A and B are shown apart, each in its own frame.
Chain A
Amino acid sequence: MPNTVDTNKTTQPVYGGKNKLIGKNYQTNDLLAKVTGRSKYAEDYRAEGMLFCKLLSSPVPHARVKHLDLSAALAMPGVKGILTADDLPAPADSLTDNGTRIPANKLGERGLTNEPLYQGEPILAVAAVDEYTAAEAIEKIKIDFEHLPFVIDPLDTLRPGGPNPRVGGNVWFRPPLTPPKPGERPGPPAPIEVHELKWTEEDFAEVKQGRLPTGKILEDPGNSWSYGKVDDAFKNAALVLDETFVTPDTSHQCMETRSAMAYWQNGKVYVHTGTQSTAQTVPAIARWLGLLKPDGQPDTDKVVLVSEYTGGGFGSKITGAISLIIPALLAKKCNAPVMMRLTREEEHFIGRGRPSMTGRMKVGFSKEGRITALDMFVLVNTGPYDAVGDAPSSGRIVSLLYQPQNMRFRGLTVMTNTPPRSAQSSPGGMQGITLMEPILAKAGRKLGIDQVAIRRLNCPEGKAQFGPVARGRRAYATSAFIKEALDRGAEQFNWNQRIARNPKRIGSKVRGVGVSVSCYVGGSTGFDGLLVIKPDGRICFQSGIGNLGTESVIDVHRAGAEVLGVPWEKCDVCWGTNAKNLPWTCVSGGSQTTHAMTRAAHAVAMETKKRLQEIAAKSLGGSPENYEVANERVFRKGGGAGMTLAQAAQKAIQMGGIYDGHEANPDVNRFTKASVQALAGQGLVASARDKYPHDGQTHSFVATFAEVEVDVETGKYHIVDFLAYADVGSVLHPRALGGQILGRSTLGIGHAIGQKWVMDPAYGAMLSKRFHHSKPPTILDVPVNMQWAALDIPDPETPVGSRGIGEPPVGGGCAAILNAISDAVGDEVFRRAPVYADTILTSLEAGRPMQHPLMAHI
């Protein structure tokens, strides 16, 4: 029996079949710059007369600034200006495409504040000639606070009489829409409010047994739903498990902190920063800075964003970060460029984190192992600002991934005085899977069913339905081939040989194997593609995708080149600033990009083909259908007259109108239209919107396998082997895909083996402010020979067949490790993640099952 994965079996299969580009490896356009250090990130830029700013952050978890004395700081030579919350523009409402006004959350995060709601929240910023001077100036500022009640543990604020994190309460509440009168359009939603929600003493009686109380929640469609007959199903279940599990809060830990540099020229703001979407950060910056058109839409002409390279996002920089307005407004105030470099400690405070989720899962199984009933109750700690969507998302993902026959979901998101959370790779999905998987593992052992088999029995197949009935039907996945992934993965991992290992223990070392299924949203639709065929015949794909390390900024355009039959060497990708005229693009969050933007690339390639045929027909006679595009030419089918792409581009310029961008495709977004206009006359300028049919909801799936070895005398364990087998539709770029599968699996593994927040409840203070405190996994914490593979079965609801992969592996990375540990040492050893040596040793040797099972931030 092999100790490690059989390398003969792990030779990567050939992906992409007969494709020339899709499914093939290549050297990405940004690779050399990245590996040689030539790539410039936000903080690498310099501008003439540039100042540096530093932040004064709150030392207290909740207070009001009573008195601020800036005189000594301002009197220092070299100090050029101070920005406080009083200098910020009022939060601007946003408008939907159909003109509905979404009122701004006046209680939302604004970048600086006079009422800090967590330790580390920025209160003001000082601009000076250098950081040293700015820091000295901050130490000279006198600041008095009126201390206010605070709370860091979500359960503590729910206790009767428990402290509220905000004046007025601990939960967000949006008053329901008043139904419109017949014939009228519905009015705008009411502004969101802070309400107080407390549970009863009776609810809390269960906490003593380590169980999460299922107290009152706020009823809304995302957080409270059910289907089937849950209670009846429990009555008939062969096995019912009722388990509470806690997942950790984890910082996003982007290598690049959210640094930003900004300056103003001729009324335009130039911003250098990292982002997960070049295109969508532009209107966000305009709105944050109050740069609005008379109709209330953000004035994107006033913003130039430069973001060629981003050092990671993971959901924390979806449209950059609101903190970028600090250097932007300081630059205006001081009339000089301002650079804000955030330190790692500041990043731990304002750089976002995944919310912890405490779940109470009551699960009924048939004797065959099928999940017949699931009652899922989750509590999410969102920090002091806007509620994250993790709770609703966890319910949907669990419903899809485990296909419970009857299910009730209840979710509650509460506020605390802890750093603000945001989406983090597989938000809600990762936590939901981590709550569910140990229960499935335990059920398998109790019912005597193999772990792969019980997952195979419950996992979705094809266009699997999930969630509640909404508008008359249940949502369904576009496709799911997770069963195939489980089968092929089990074979590659030698699952059967590993579980038959005998003995499982040698000396103090015990081996355990675990498997987990995992999935997340894998794509969106409706975005734009934009390209230019230049008069020299080269094709330039305009890319509005953020370059955050996944390579989708380049990869997706290979789908366009494949359709056009143009060799990649003749293609360029234009990315990194809206000054280069970019199309309206999805944000690279929710693993949307590969799916959404290969569709857009496909659409614009088809549009280009069509225009090339028209140009050929108009120039050479005949009808467009008589022409075909291949080998960098458009030519009459069956041979005869034709022209090169270069000639076609020259022709397009002569023809003008729709051909050279003087007219834009009427389907595209106004942001794309502006770009088309700016590119007009440069060649054949084609734009198109993805209008391909799409009815289901796109998800990608991963089957994850792991083996661990636990030393029961020290509690220390290590991961022996790991395999993630992915169902992501057609493989677009194998090397990038492998990087994502293993990288995001490692992100998940971090949640299992060590990453967390440690906070002191007496002072509401973060103790894990540095990498060696918060402990993201290192390369030595994962096996050397980590394996991945993909099915390469195209998704039926998208023309290229590819789905996204960023998020789906995360839950599996975490849960497969947890399941392997419990296989080695038993089910009752841990009830929270991460599982450290001390967790195992305390349970096994000190005889205490779990210390403070529900306590937050330990």
Chain B
Amino acid sequence: MAVMRDVMPAFDLLQPTSVADAQKLLEQHGRDAWVMAGGLDSFDWLKDRIKKPKVVVDLSGIDELRGVRSSSDGGVEIGAMTTLTEVVNNPIIKQKFGLLSQGAELAASPQIRNQGTIGGNVSQDARCHYYRAGWPCYRAGGNICYADTPTGRNREHAILDADRCVAVNPSDSAPALIALDAKFVLRTPKGERVVDAEDYFIGPDIDIMRLNILRPGDLLTAIRIPSTFAGAQFYFEKVRDRNVWDFALMNVASAMVLSGGNIDRVRIAVNGAAARPLRLKAVEDAVRGKPRNASTGESGGKLAVEGAVPLQFNAYKIPLMRNLVKRAIAGVEVATWA
């Protein structure tokens, strides 16, 4: 049968107005249902006829999933359907958790940020061009990774924690949320579940067909950022080919609290290196208590890339990750030209 792309097939569009209704619909339709947030990931799959759900459950009408609320502990709770633009512009996030504003603002393009949601950004699927072309790779349920072949084009792919599939996680907000020690609130058929940001994501060794722990029927409803790193020193950098409308080749996020020049508390996360955003716990442990300087940054950077395995076209990611982690610890000199 011939292959057709780029024409959206028919499906039933269901638009619940409450989380409870959405859950009911998901339960009712099981694997036939597709959950849609901003639609920027969904529409690619749908119009390419690679995923053909019978029903699409559109969450955009659920008001309780929108908006940023201050929580009693001094943190914030962000509804999963809050747009990236709203996250970027929110004054509390900007003031206390600027790391997330920075990360979210570097995602995609203004138009996409107006439509894309924070929940969608962290939950979006891999962008590997083989997988997205509808090829039957591991991630699509098949038995091969086309990117990790002797001739595969894998410039954008993983250097760490690859297991058969070498795709990377594309999210820009995810490493910021991990660095801020955020908690993800899930509504599952068994009830509410709250997980640490870094535990929301899974690698191919555990499940090669998903980038996160959501199962059919589950919804990510909110993201809670505790006050732990409110107003801390932040560093976010995204390296991409174009200055807008481009996924990260790699990005890094760090949140740090100093005590007398020494690093007291720190969390660092990198995305674009593996199938899940990596929290660099070993690096955090190694730099804690050390002065925040170039030498600490360099040793942290070196530690971060230990065990990295380059593919044919992505060896550059090793020095890139090393340098980004170095900067996430020690900062970067701003060039002021005469």
Direct contact between A and B judged by beta carbons closer than 8 A = yes
Instruction: Report how many A-B pairs have Cβ atoms within 8 Å.
Output: 151
B242 CB contacts on chain A under 8 angstroms: 753-754, 775, 777-778, 780-781
Nearest-CB residue, chain B, relative to A771: B245
Contact A846/B315 with A508-B332, A775-B246 known, Cβ cut-off 8 Å: yes
Contact flags (1/0) for A503-515 with B, using CB distance below 8 Å?
A: 0001111010000
A775 in contact with B241 (CB, 8 Å): yes
**Is A344 among interface residues, defined by CB-CB distance under 8 A?**
yes
B313 in contact with A761 (CB, 8 Å): no
Contact A141/B2 with A136-B9, A709-B335, A778-B245 known, Cβ cut-off 8 Å: yes
Alpha-carbon distance between A771 and B10 when the two chains are bound, in angstroms: 25
Most buried by A among B152, B313, B318, B336: B313
**Is A102 among interface residues, defined by CB-CB distance under 8 A?**
no
Contact A754/B337 with A345-B5, A761-B151, A767-B129 known, Cβ cut-off 8 Å: no
- Interface SS, B side: loop
B316 in contact with A765 (CB, 8 Å): no
**Is B206 among interface residues, defined by CB-CB distance under 8 A?**
no
CB distance from B313 to the nearest CB of A (A): 6
Contact A507/B335 with A781-B243, A846-B316 known, Cβ cut-off 8 Å: yes
Contact flags (1/0) for A61-88 with B, using CB distance below 8 Å?
A: 0000000000000000000000000000
Alpha-carbon distance between A59 and B2 when the two chains are bound, in angstroms: 9
Most buried by A among B237, B247, B324, B337: B337
A490-512 residues at the B interface, CB under 8 angstroms: 501, 506-509, 511
**Is A24 among interface residues, defined by CB-CB distance under 8 A?**
no
A765 CB contacts on chain B under 8 angstroms: 133
B246 CB contacts on chain A under 8 angstroms: 772, 775
A715 CB contacts on chain B under 8 angstroms: 239, 316, 320
Indicate which residue in B149, B324, B335 contacts A714 across the interface (CB closer than 8 Å).
B324
Contact A713/B323 with A772-B247, A778-B242 known, Cβ cut-off 8 Å: yes
B129 CB contacts on chain A under 8 angstroms: 758, 767-768, 773
A845 in contact with B243 (CB, 8 Å): no
Alpha-carbon distance between A518 and B31 when the two chains are bound, in angstroms: 59
Contact flags (1/0) for B225-261 with A, using CB distance below 8 Å?
A: 0000000000001011111111101000000000000
Alpha-carbon distance between A139 and B338 when the two chains are bound, in angstroms: 63
**Is A842 among interface residues, defined by CB-CB distance under 8 A?**
yes
Alpha-carbon distance between A851 and B1 when the two chains are bound, in angstroms: 39
Contact A511/B337 with A139-B2, A760-B130, A772-B246 known, Cβ cut-off 8 Å: yes
A744-800 residues at the B interface, CB under 8 angstroms: 753-754, 758-763, 765, 767-769, 771-773, 775, 777-781
Alpha-carbon distance between A836 and B241 when the two chains are bound, in angstroms: 7
Contact flags (1/0) for B12-38 with A, using CB distance below 8 Å?
A: 000000000000000000000000000
Alpha-carbon distance between A609 and B296 when the two chains are bound, in angstroms: 82
A778 in contact with B243 (CB, 8 Å): yes
Nearest-CB residue, chain B, relative to A846: B315
Alpha-carbon distance between A344 and B7 when the two chains are bound, in angstroms: 11
A138 in contact with B4 (CB, 8 Å): yes
A714 in contact with B241 (CB, 8 Å): no
**Is B290 among interface residues, defined by CB-CB distance under 8 A?**
no
B337 in contact with A506 (CB, 8 Å): yes
B149 in contact with A754 (CB, 8 Å): no
Most buried by A among B8, B146, B152, B153: B153
**Is A27 among interface residues, defined by CB-CB distance under 8 A?**
no
B1 CB contacts on chain A under 8 angstroms: 139-142
B247 CB contacts on chain A under 8 angstroms: 772
Contact flags (1/0) for A827-847 with B, using CB distance below 8 Å?
A: 000000000111001100110
Contact flags (1/0) for B40-58 with A, using CB distance below 8 Å?
A: 0000000001000000000
Contact A767/B333 with A714-B323, A778-B242 known, Cβ cut-off 8 Å: no
Nearest-CB residue, chain B, relative to A842: B316
Nearest-CB residue, chain B, relative to A777: B242
Contact flags (1/0) for A727-747 with B, using CB distance below 8 Å?
A: 000000000000000000000
Contact A507/B338 with A135-B7, A768-B129 known, Cβ cut-off 8 Å: no
Contact flags (1/0) for B304-338 with A, using CB distance below 8 Å?
A: 00000000111111111001101100001111111
B243 CB contacts on chain A under 8 angstroms: 718, 778, 780-781
A762 in contact with B151 (CB, 8 Å): yes
**Is B192 among interface residues, defined by CB-CB distance under 8 A?**
no
CB distance from A400 to the nearest CB of B (A): 33
Indicate which residue in A343, A506, A857 contacts B336 across the interface (CB closer than 8 Å).
A506
**Is A469 among interface residues, defined by CB-CB distance under 8 A?**
no
B245 in contact with A714 (CB, 8 Å): no
**Is A131 among interface residues, defined by CB-CB distance under 8 A?**
yes
A779 CB contacts on chain B under 8 angstroms: 244
Contact A778/B239 with A768-B129, A838-B249 known, Cβ cut-off 8 Å: no
**Is A143 among interface residues, defined by CB-CB distance under 8 A?**
yes
Alpha-carbon distance between A838 and B318 when the two chains are bound, in angstroms: 10
Alpha-carbon distance between A346 and B317 when the two chains are bound, in angstroms: 32
Contact flags (1/0) for A327-366 with B, using CB distance below 8 Å?
A: 0000000000000000111100000000000000000000
Alpha-carbon distance between A851 and B327 when the two chains are bound, in angstroms: 27
B153 in contact with A760 (CB, 8 Å): yes
B323 in contact with A343 (CB, 8 Å): no
Indicate which residue in A138, A716, A780, A846 contacts B319 across the interface (CB closer than 8 Å).
A846
Alpha-carbon distance between A458 and B314 when the two chains are bound, in angstroms: 40
**Is A56 among interface residues, defined by CB-CB distance under 8 A?**
yes
**Is B6 among interface residues, defined by CB-CB distance under 8 A?**
yes
Contact A508/B333 with A758-B153, A760-B146 known, Cβ cut-off 8 Å: yes
Q: What are 7 pairs between A and B in contact, CB < 8 Å?
A: A1-B338, A139-B2, A345-B5, A508-B333, A715-B316, A767-B153, A845-B319
Contacts A713-B332, A716-B239 aside, 8 further interface pairs with beta carbons under 8 A come to A135-B49, A138-B4, A346-B6, A501-B338, A709-B335, A713-B319, A760-B146, A775-B246
Interface residues of B, Cβ cutoff 8 Å to A: 1-10, 49, 109, 129-130, 133, 146, 149, 151-153, 155, 237, 239-247, 249, 312-320, 323-324, 326-327, 332-338
Complex A-B, nearest 5 residue pairs according to Cβ-Cβ distance, in ascending order: A507-B333, A845-B319, A135-B7, A506-B335, A509-B335
